[in-house]
Structure 1
């Protein structure tokens, strides 16, 4: 179970890094927001889901 939580945290950190770099670049680029809006919202939804899943999985570790 510890390996699963560690993998979830690794995915969460990787996605967080991508979002920290990607969202400001998308917002700063002219015309990119309209093209990438759905991808940004989907990525944020996955990030929130990973936070919740990681928290739930962490409760099972003694």
Structure 2
């Protein structure tokens, strides 16, 4: 179970890094917001879901 938490946290860190780099690049590029809006919203939703799942799995271990 601890390995599952570690993998979830690793995924959370990787996704957070991708979003921290990707969102400002998309917002700074002219015309890219309209093309990438769905991808940004999907990434944000995935990040939120990953935070909730990680917290639920962590509460089962402790």
Same fold (TM over 0.5): yes
Q: How does the TM-score come out when normalised to structure 1?
A: 0.98
**TM superposition outliers: structure 1 runs of 4+ over 2 Å:** none
Gaps of 5+ in 2: none
Gaps of 5+ in 1: none
* Number of residue pairs aligned between Structure 1 and Structure 2: 62
Summarize the alignment of residues 1-62 of structure 1 with structure 2, pairs less than 5 Å apart: 1-62=1-62
Write the deviation string for residues 14-46 of structure 1: whole angstroms up to 9, x where unpaired: 000000000000000000000000000000000
Higher helix share: 2
